[in-house]
Amino acid sequence: MSMRLNGKKAFITASGQGIGKAICEKFVAENSEVYATDINEELLKNLPADRTSVLDVTHKKLLQAEIKKFNPDILVNCAGIVHAGSILDSSDDQFDFAVSLNVKSMFHAIQAVVPLMIEKKSGSIINIGSVVSSIIGAPNRFIYGVSKAAIIGLTKSVALEFVSKGIRCNCICPGTVDTPSLHQRLEDTGDYEKAMKDFVARQPMGRIGKSGEIASLAVYLASDESNFTTGQAHIIDGGWSIG
Ligand code: NAD
């Protein structure tokens, strides 16, 4: 067994599938003690985590209580949903829901973990953002882009505020990644094959990313190997944002 996260306790939201699941698996493989959470109980059943719990990140009280109980060294804020549509297709309710789930949940989780990390004089916070944010725009991603841009601002604020307390806060900005919800978004277009072709064409590398590739970056950011980086938006997108 590899030991890059040996003895470190990690709390992960939305770890039932996709990127969160891959992070859970890689963290366990690196000897981290993982508390995996997700809103969907079924998805938690076959995870290799030390502890699992059903958790909706929009429930502030429960989210903060679970984090305080576990006292993690690493917090991975992975929960996020994609709203499809331009500004003209977006309602107030859709905006509020997405911002609450994608951004406000991170505010609450970090608010709970920072005092614990100050006590330990160390900690790594990893927020899953997106390259579709303040980095690039994408069609039909108005609310999504707003929410993911906010995560970069949130990351920088937390990183700056606690840099002298041994706490690091970074954001991972993936491009197009092969996850269950991506396939659903392709289905939803009504022409899966064409949509997949279009999504693949966005990357100069000519393929979409794998959730394990994102998880490898998360291992690095969670481990002491990355001790000299904080407050950054780490782009991992097959070159989508180059041009
Ligand atoms: P996914 O969308 O396939 O799965 C999302 C998971 O989140 C599910 O297990 C679901 O049960 C859980 N979830 C949904 N609502 C929740 C809530 N309120 N509380 C707790 N859990 C909840 O996974 P994914 O595509 O890997 O996305 C994970 C993160 O990565 C998201 O923040 C997403 O925006 C980001 N991301 C994904 C891609 C991509 O192409 N897949 C690209 C960039 C960023």
Residue 48 has pLDDT above 80, yes or no: yes
Question: Is the CB–ligand 1 distance for residue 17 below 6 Å?
Answer: yes
Atom 6 of ligand 1, residue of closest alpha carbon:
14
Distance CA 38, CA 18 (A): 12
Q: Which tens digit of pLDDT belongs to each residue from 69-91?
A: 999 999 999 999 999 999 999 99
Per annotation, catalytic residue among 35, 144, 192, 220: 144
pLDDT at 163 over 80: yes
Beta bridge partners of 52: 36
CA of 180 to the centre of ligand 1 (A): 9
pLDDT at 2: 87
- Catalytic residue at 144? yes
Residue 204 and residue 156: Cα distance in Å, rounded? 29
| Predicted TM-score of the model (pTM) | 0.98
- What sections of 1-81 are H helices per DSSP? 18-29, 41-44, 60-70
Q: What is the mean pLDDT of residues 46-74?
A: 98
Q: Is 24 in the pocket of ligand 1 (CB under 6 A)?
A: no
At 145-159, the pLDDT tens digits run 999 999 999 999 999
* 84 three-state secondary structure: coil
Q: Is a pLDDT exceeding 80 seen at residue 14?
A: yes
Interval between CA 211 and ligand 1 midpoint (Å): 11
User: Ligand 1 centroid vs 78 CA: distance in angstroms?
Assistant: 6
